[in-house]
Amino acid sequence: MNVAITIAYLLAAVLFILGLKQLSSPKGARNGNFIAALGMLVALGATLPLLHFTQAGLVIVGIGVVIGTIVGTVGARLVRMTAIPQMVALFNGVGGGAAALVAVAELLKLGAHPAFAESFPSLFSIVIGSVSFAGSAVAFAKLQELMTGTPITYPAQQVVNGVIAAAIVAFTIAASVIASVPLTFLPLLVLALVLGVAFVLPIGGADMPVVISLLNACTGLAVAATGFTLNNFALIVAGTLVGASGSLLTKLMSDAMGRSLGNILFGAFGQVRTAATAAGGGPARSVRSASAEDLGTLLAYSQRVIIVPGYGLAVAQAQHAARELADVLEKRGVEVEYAIHPVAGRMPGHMNVLLAEANVPYEQLKEMDQVNDDFKNADVALIVGANDVVNPAARSTPGSPIYGMPILNADQAKNIIFMKRSMRPGFAGIDNELMFGPKTVMFFGDAKDSLTKLVSAVKAA
Amino acid sequence: MTENLLNELTFFVLAVFVGFEVISKVPTILHTPLMSGTNAIHGVILVGALLIAAGADTPVNIVLGLVAVTLATTNVVGGFVVTDRMLEMFKGRRPGGAAPAGRAQGAQNQK
């Protein structure tokens, strides 16, 4: 490889590393993204001299780049902030798909009896890229609610997945050691796609962020493997960086949810869930509910209100309505804060983004550790579409699937207004004792409508 | 060839350590943007897609190349744009200086 090209790839790798470094600090995050994008431009520019275009090649590169740019820009610009997680899943999936296809093309070039060191990285990339593609597609469908977000389980699921995985390993070894026909990659491709789907199906919608992060790391590894096939430094380094940092990020995310990665991935949740639902099948218990006027008065004459936003707020696009309520309360001298659970919304940090979009002042956003001691001094904890993150069972019920998860101490507030669409349980699929508590008042309805009603009620009070 | 492979393995192993080290202290609120940013970086597979697409001469290669370039470009462009959109939301809302200092000040002002 040409010296200038190698130096340019090195520069790109340095820019990627600096970009990642900046992305992980609040001050420089946006710059970090620019730096990484610059690194990408350098890597692409350095590749140009390596391309020897055929006529057809020129045409398809032109078409592909134009379509990809339009789809990417329009998709990323138009997507609503609440739908960001599934958009990331989609962009990750197409990356995995691209890695698998590049590996297929390379494998076909290798001929009938490729050396192990040449064919193995291609096969690895095909498998991991396909798993990432299919898994991301399922994650997208779950988050976009094209299919149910609850775990899909069937008997002997672990065994079936294990058999598919074993078959993939066997095929990979067979194909790279003894294969004489390049087409052995086809069954491998199909099996990997099936595994991607089967692997994500039993994982609940609430855990999708962790899954997407894991698949993101997988795509990184697939890209690195393709780099080995193509002997391309940029692919190896950038792919490996993403693979390593993505794996660590996956672990940090599951830590933030207070769960182990194994617990998230391997359906433990699903099993406990059935047990919990069976146990909770007793007679329906009654809850207190109140009119918007009563609640408006309660809020208007409080000194301190803590808003606990959850996914219900995000999905109803109610962040602006929440801000409006906070504004009218503050005008009356009420102190308002937002308590942000680390996994509020659908991804860690998602809620901060949504509230920032509604121009909520940064100082009012309190992280869990900062705000948890304040709840006992709060007159009202206003829970808007959150559930599992305020479920006291996480502290008190050792058998509960969320036991041990850090929660917001909303139950310690003097009054609790629980705004919810229905009595339906949260993603964890378990009842929330807090709803039945003596200090709790339920206010049913769409989060946005309900908040708007509260705004007028507070104004009238 | 073998020496080449050894070099590549060296890059690989070093990059693993750099990848772990570089994001070891990321605050929770940046998890989502960071995931999205790394997602954009693996779009570098576009380099590989270009390499196979440019020289495509058989129907199979043409189809593979076209789809790979399209998907990879979507990954790169969409990834960086969506990350920027997320981070845009944070800009200018921090009253100068480090975030914790700003927060403490905000809390005092409220009392």
| Residue A268 pLDDT greater than 80, yes or no | no
pLDDT tens-digit series, residues A327-358: 999 999 999 999 988 777 767 677 887 888 78
pLDDT-based confidence at residue A285 (cuts at 50, 70, 90): low
Q: How many CB pairs under 8 A join A and B?
A: 400
**B66's torsion region: left (phi>0), alpha (psi -120 to 50) or beta?**
alpha
Q: Are residues A225 and A127 in the same domain?
A: yes
Q: Are residues A339 and A437 in the same domain?
A: yes
| Residue A269 pLDDT greater than 80, yes or no | no
Whether the CB-CB separation of B82 and A79 falls below 8 Å is answered with: yes
The answer to whether the Cβ–Cβ distance between A223 and B53 falls below 8 Å is: no
pLDDT-based confidence at residue A283 (cuts at 50, 70, 90): very low
Q: Are residues A237 and A311 in the same domain?
A: no
The answer to whether the Cβ–Cβ distance between A92 and B41 falls below 8 Å is: no
pLDDT tens-digit series, residues A293-304: 888 888 988 999
Residue A7 located in a structural domain: no
| Neighbouring residues of A139: CB distance < 8 A, sequence distance ≥ 6 | A86, A89, A200, A208, A211, A212, A215
ipTM above 0.85, yes or no: no
- Give the residue, A43 or B31, on which the prediction is more confident: A43
Residue A255 located in a structural domain: yes
pLDDT tens-digit series, residues A153-169: 777 778 888 898 998 88
A316: closest CA among A348, A356, A345, A287?
Answer: A345
Tell me the domain boundaries of chain B: 33-87
Residue A88's pLDDT is: 93
Query: Measured between alpha carbons, how far apart are the two ends of chain B, in Å?
Result: 69
- Give the residue, A184 or A79, on which the prediction is more confident: A79
Residue A227 located in a structural domain: yes
Q: Which residue of B has its CA nearest to A335?
A: B110
| Residue B98 pLDDT greater than 60, yes or no | no
List the structure tokens of A102: 């590049």
Q: Contacts of residue B3 in chain A, CB cutoff 8 Å?
A: none
Question: Of the residues A255, A369, A373, A388, which is catalytic?
Answer: A388
A114 reaches B (C-beta below 8 A): no
| Residue A431 pLDDT greater than 70, yes or no | yes
Residue A29 CA neighbour count, 13 Å, CB half: 30
pLDDT tens-digit series, residues A38-58: 999 999 999 999 999 999 999
| Residue A99 pLDDT greater than 90, yes or no | yes
- Give the residue, A148 or A451, on which the prediction is more confident: A451
**Buried/exposed A91-125: b ≥16 CB within 10 Å, e otherwise:** bbbbbbbbbbbbbbbbbbeeeeebeeebbbbbbbb
Whether the CB-CB separation of A424 and A414 falls below 8 Å is answered with: no
Residue percentage of chain B with pLDDT more than 70: 79
Q: Are residues A352 and A454 in the same domain?
A: yes
Angle of the A3-23 helix axis to the B31-41 helix axis, nearest 10: 170
Residue B94's pLDDT is: 43
pTM assigned to the model: 0.77
Average pLDDT for residues A261-289, to the nearest whole number?
A: 56
| Residue A427 pLDDT greater than 80, yes or no | no
Residue A277 located in a structural domain: no
pLDDT-based confidence at residue A31 (cuts at 50, 70, 90): very high
Residue B28's pLDDT is: 75
The answer to whether the Cβ–Cβ distance between B31 and A348 falls below 8 Å is: yes
Out of A72, A213, A352, whose CB is closest to B77?
A72
Using a 10 angstrom Cβ sphere, with 0-12 exposed, 13-18 middle and 19 or more buried, the burial of residue A174 is middle
Task: Report the alpha-carbon distance of residue A35 to residue A255 in Å, rounded.
Answer: 29
pLDDT tens-digit series, residues A197-234: 999 988 877 778 889 999 999 999 999 999 999 999 99
CA–CA min distance A278, chain B (Å): 35
pLDDT-based confidence at residue B92 (cuts at 50, 70, 90): very low
Active site residue A388: yes
Residue A179's pLDDT is: 61
Out of B4, B41, B85, whose CB is closest to A242?
B41
Residue A29 located in a structural domain: no
pLDDT-based confidence at residue B104 (cuts at 50, 70, 90): very low
Indicate the number of domains in chain A: 2
Q: Are residues A230 and A95 in the same domain?
A: yes
Ramachandran angles phi, psi of A420, nearest 5°: -150, 155
Residue percentage of chain A with pLDDT more than 70: 92
Q: Are residues A77 and A216 in the same domain?
A: yes
A245: closest CA among B91, B40, B29?
Answer: B40
The answer to whether the Cβ–Cβ distance between B37 and A233 falls below 8 Å is: no
CA dihedral B68, B72, B78, B80 (to 10 degrees): 180
Q: Are residues A59 and A152 in the same domain?
A: yes
**Buried/exposed A19-34: b ≥16 CB within 10 Å, e otherwise:** bbbbbbbbebbbebbb
The answer to whether the Cβ–Cβ distance between B26 and A249 falls below 8 Å is: yes
- Give the residue, A209 or A191, on which the prediction is more confident: A191
On average, the pLDDT of chain B sits at 81
Q: Contacts of residue A101 in chain B, CB cutoff 8 Å?
A: 49, 64, 67-68, 71
On average, the pLDDT of chain A sits at 85
Domain of residue A313: give its range.
292-460
pLDDT-based confidence at residue A279 (cuts at 50, 70, 90): very low
Average pLDDT for residues A436-450, to the nearest whole number?
A: 86
Residue A33 located in a structural domain: no
Per DSSP, what are the bridge partners of residue A306? A337, A381
| Residue B17 pLDDT greater than 90, yes or no | yes
The answer to whether the Cβ–Cβ distance between B64 and A256 falls below 8 Å is: no
Query: Measured between alpha carbons, how far apart are the two ends of chain A, in Å?
Result: 75
Average pLDDT for residues A107-126, to the nearest whole number?
A: 83
Residue A60's pLDDT is: 95
Q: Are residues A321 and A176 in the same domain?
A: no
Whether the CB-CB separation of A118 and A169 falls below 8 Å is answered with: no
Task: Report the alpha-carbon distance of residue A278 to residue A272 in Å, rounded.
Answer: 10
Task: Report the alpha-carbon distance of residue A322 to residue A449 in Å, rounded.
Answer: 11
